[in-house]
Structure 1
Amino acid sequence: MKSMLEALFYGDIRPEEQVVPRNPEYRNISRRLSEAMELWKEKLSSKEFNQLEAMLDLRSQSESIYATNTFINGFQLGALIIMELFL
C-alpha cells in the first residue's frame, strides 16, 4: 500500500472526485436546476440557449476556481494549526 505522500506524488489523490454533498437539499436543487434548464431550452431559440449554457459554464468555472482556493486555504490553515502544536 502506498503512503499518502506517494499517492499524492503519483496523482492518486483527487479530492474533487470524492466529494459527494451530504446536504439533503443537494439532490432536490440539482433536480430543480435540470428541470429549469429543460424549460429554458423549450423557450429559447437554439442560439439563445447556447449563449445561456456558455454563461452557465463560465459561472461553473468561476465556482470551481473558488472551491479550489477554499480547499487550499482550509488545507493551509489545518497545516498551520498542526505546526502550532509542535511549537
Structure 2
Amino acid sequence: MESILESLYHGNLHPDENIIPDDPQYSILRKRTSDVIEIWKNRLSAEEFDELEALLDLYGQTHGMELAASFKYGFRLGAGIMVEVLTGEEGLAGRLSMQFP
C-alpha cells in the first residue's frame, strides 16, 4: 500500500471522486433528482432538454469550484489548527487560513 505522500506524488489522490456523503437523505435526494430530470426529459422537446442539461452542467461546474474552494479552506484551517496545537501559538490557525484565500 502506498503512503499518502507516494499517492500524492503519483497523482493517485482524487478526493472529489471518493467522497460520498453518509447522510441517509443523500441517496433519497439523488434518486428524487434523477426522477425529476427524467420527468423534464419527457416533458420538454429534445432541444429544450439539451438547454436544461447545459444549465445543469454549468451549475455542476460552479458547484465543483465551490467544493474545491471549501476543501482547500478546510485543509488549510485543519493544518493551521495542528500547527497551533503543536506550537502553542494562539491565533495562528486563523491567521494562516485568512492568509491564503
Which ranges in structure 2 are unaligned for 5 or more consecutive residues?
88-101
Q: Give the TM-score normalised by the residue count of structure 1.
A: 0.92
Partner of 1:36: 36
**Does structure 1 residue 9 correspond to structure 2 residue 9?**
yes
Code of the aligned partner of 2:38: E
Q: Distance in 1 between matches of 2:3 and 2:37?
A: 44
Q: Distance in 2 between matches of 1:70 and 1:21?
A: 15
Structure 1 segment 3-82 matched on structure 2, within 5 A:
3-82=3-82
Q: Distance in 1 between matches of 2:74 and 2:34?
A: 31
Find the residue that maps to 2:42 and give its secondary structure. Answer: helix
Find the residue that maps to 2:23 and give its secondary structure. Answer: coil
| Residue 11 (structure 1) shift | 0.9
Which ranges in structure 1 are unaligned for 5 or more consecutive residues?
none
Of 2-11 and 30-39, deviating more is: 2-11
* Identical columns (%): 40
Find runs of 4+ consecutive structure 1 residues off by over 4 angstroms: none
| Relative contact order, higher structure (CA 8 A, sep 6+) | 2
Q: Distance in 1 between matches of 2:12 and 2:4?
A: 9
Matched residues, number = 87
Q: Give the TM-score normalised by the residue count of structure 2.
A: 0.80
| Residue 86 (structure 1) shift | 2.8
Tell me how large the CA RMSD over aligned residues is: 1.1
